[in-house]
């Protein structure tokens, strides 16, 4: 039996979004190869970070609804809450 994850229903959408982000990263690489203006490159990096943040928050939302609220997660509610808070802390750490 296959494991059901919180994102299982939106797996195709996630794939599309991640391929789009991958294309953006390749675009940044091209910008560097073409010696584009630094600020333009940084702007594109910021856009990729924002897109990844949106994916991560969507996954976190689905995880919370499926695993925590829906009871499909492993561990006590306290352990799952600690896990969520730890992942949010990691997401917030930048630079």
pLDDT in 10s for each residue of the chain, 95 residues: 667 888 888 899 999 999 999 999 999 999 999 999 999 999 999 999 999 999 999 999 999 999 888 888 888 888 999 999 999 999 898 75
What are the structural domains, with CATH classification, of the chain? 12-92 (1.20.58.1000)
Q: What is the pTM of this model?
A: 0.85
pLDDT for the residue 1: 61
Q: How far is CA 10 from CA 4, 16, 45, 66, 85, in A?
A: 12, 10, 25, 13, 23
pLDDT for the residue 50: 96
pLDDT for the residue 71: 84
**SS3 for 67-79, per residue?**
HHHCCCCCCCHHH
Name which of 26, 28, 24 is nearest 51 in CA terms: 24
pLDDT for the residue 9: 84
């Amino acid at each position: 039996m296959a494991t059901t994850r919180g994102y299982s229903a939106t797996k195709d959408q996630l794939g599309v979004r991640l391929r789009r982000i991958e294309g953006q990263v390749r675009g940044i690489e091209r910008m560097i190869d073409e010696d584009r203006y630094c600020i333009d490159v940084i702007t594109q990096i910021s856009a990729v970070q924002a897109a990844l943040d949106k994916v991560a928050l969507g996954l976190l939302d689905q995880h919370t609804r499926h695993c925590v609220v829906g009871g499909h997660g492993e561990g006590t509610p306290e352990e799952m809450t600690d896990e969520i808070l730890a992942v949010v802390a990691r997401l917030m750490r930048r630079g």
